[in-house]
Amino acid sequence: MDLKNTVIGIELGSTRIKAVMTDMSFKPLASGDFEWENRLEDGIWTYHYDEVVTGLQTCFSRMKEDVKGKFGVDLNTTGAIGISAMMHGYIPTDKNWNTLCGFRTWRNTITGEAAAELTKLFDFNIPQRWCISHLYQAILNKEKHVKDIAHVETLASYVNRLLTGENNIGIDDASGMFPIDSSILNYDNQMADKFQKLTGFDIRKVFPKVLVAGQVSGKLTKEGSLLLDPSGKLEAGIPLAPPEGDAATGMAATDAVRLNTGNVSAGTSDFAMIVTDKKLGVHREIDMVTTPSGSPVAMVHCNNCTTDINSWVNLFGEFAVKAGFEIDRNKLFTMLYSIALEGKADCGGLMSCNYYSGEGVTDFDGGLPLFIHRPDSQVGLANFMRTHMMSAMATLKIGMDILRAENVTIDKIFGHGGYFKTPVAGQRILSAAIGAPVSVMETAGEGGPYGMALLAAYMIWGKGESLEDFLDNKVFKDSKTQTIMASDEEVKGFDKYIEDYKNILMIERKALEVMNA
């Protein structure tokens, strides 16, 4: 193995930090990961900064072991590295780059006042998750740290700076900080001027420098190499791609960066990304972000997806152990996901709401998972699992129905992430939700870190061609893809389910009111 002809993508996701290595064949060769969980501390969803470093070191160390075991070489260099992470959130630092408060993640719904005021000011939807909402809410709250703010970063740009010393960000991740003007591939100047007049903060100086796919975001410093690999064997000087958000890596991993293509990433959260040149009205449910190259993208982002499913699978696993059966966790997921396809198209009257946290699309500031059914409902395992799988896609469907009403064109849509690891199941239910065929690639389970590795590969091997052509003609030219279209019965069943789902949201609101009283 020639390590100079490899690239590494590392993504800090919501439940794990994972590193993936590929070479010029663009097949995943080695990987390593580290599991972590967000914490709810003083009403704020967060991860600790020391966990970021521990997670990076652990996943990199495990990838080194994987490379050594498979290829018999020591991982001491690579052609390029790319860092990606959960989009949005808030990491403010002072002029010496000291963090001023805990990391506030995308999951927080504590910036409603700021988001509403900025949406009105800009005539552009500003979700609660965005960095600018967190910054303005901190200003409105008169938080002590505001006076010391010199910089605001995302998790990806924060890690990139630790590794390179450079304060840069990829354009898609930047589009979750502040609106982007795709004609100049930078923050929107008119909106930046409005925010500066309102607050005195010039985001063009406070937020990281915007870069697009193919540009270099800096080189690994000696301090950065030691942070990533404390053994000291990893060489400094390795170029880094622009740090990106998990939306960008999802687009890259599914070859969905060309006009009128889209993808759905589904794991702890889920979101749909549709590349469009169509101007949309201001919808609170729709974010406008960009591809890694800066083209406009309509995004439906939902805070809640598989967490509730996971809790029930864990319960069944615990029951199996108590009953004397040892079931492999992956097999348990596969079995239960597959059983869902045996349920009624409308789940036989069983309903669930999967909200563990607030949900911007349906305007919830908190979450309380619910399972409910009528006395005459057909209670059974198949319907039970199906309602939880459909609940995971229900809020996404509400947003996608808005795009359909706006006549947004979708030529193809790909699914990726943990929801699609079990063959057919998640793919078929998403197809029923959106009423369109859904494709899944053989690399769908690799997700974000693989997509980030591809963006790193484009930086060093994609000279002279667009990202769209690089992915189409080099990476995915011979890829194996499975496409599934739900039956008419399943589509109609989901349409019926979504009407009941909207009704039980009234119960969700009342439950939150009672439980929080």
| Predicted confidence pLDDT, tens digits, the chain (517 residues) | 899 999 999 999 988 999 999 999 999 999 999 999 999 999 999 999 999 999 999 999 999 999 999 999 999 999 999 999 999 899 999 999 999 999 999 888 899 999 999 999 999 999 999 999 999 999 999 999 999 999 999 999 999 999 999 999 999 999 999 999 999 999 999 999 999 999 999 999 999 999 999 999 999 999 999 999 999 999 999 999 999 998 899 899 889 999 989 999 888 888 899 999 877 878 888 889 999 999 999 989 898 999 999 999 999 999 999 999 989 999 999 999 999 999 999 999 999 999 998 898 898 988 999 999 999 998 999 999 999 999 999 999 999 999 988 888 888 899 988 899 898 999 999 999 999 899 998 765 567 899 999 999 999 999 889 999 999 999 998 888 899 999 999 999 999 999 999 999 999 999 999 987 5
At residue 3, the pLDDT reads: 96
- All structural domains of the chain, each given as residue ranges with its CATH number in brackets, are 3-254+444-475 (3.30.420.40), 307-443+487-515 (3.30.420.40)
For residues 128 and 117, the answer to whether their CB atoms sit within 8 Å is: no
Tell me whether residue 391 is exposed, middle or buried, using C-beta atoms within 10 angstroms of its C-beta: 0 to 12, 13 to 18, 19 or more: buried
Q: How far is CA 239 from CA 224, 246, 497, 499, in A?
A: 12, 20, 49, 50
Regarding beta strands 209-211 and 168-170, do their DSSP bridges make them parallel or antiparallel, or are they unpaired? Answer: parallel
The residue whose two tokens read 């696993």 is 317
Edge-to-edge strand list for the sheet holding 6-12: 28-35, 16-23, 6-12, 80-85, 244-245
Residue 313 in tokens: 């699978």
> Which letter, b or e, does each residue of 165-200 get, where b requires 16 or more Cβ atoms within 10 Å of its Cβ?
ebbbbbbbbbbbbbbbebeebbbbeebbeebeeeee
Tell me whether residue 213 is exposed, middle or buried, using C-beta atoms within 10 angstroms of its C-beta: 0 to 12, 13 to 18, 19 or more: buried
For residues 65 and 58, the answer to whether their CB atoms sit within 8 Å is: no
Q: Say how far apart CA 476 and CA 26 lie, in whole Å.
A: 9
At residue 179, the pLDDT reads: 96
Nearest to 392 by CA among 345, 360, 430, 344: 430
**Distant-in-sequence, close-in-space partners of 207: CB < 8 Å, separation ≥ 6:** 131, 151, 152, 169, 174, 177, 178, 187
At residue 448, the pLDDT reads: 87
Q: Say how far apart CA 505 and CA 150 lie, in whole Å.
A: 41
Question: In the 8-state DSSP scheme, what is residue 235?
Answer: P
Length of the chain as a residue count: 517
At residue 281, the pLDDT reads: 79
For residues 213 and 420, the answer to whether their CB atoms sit within 8 Å is: no
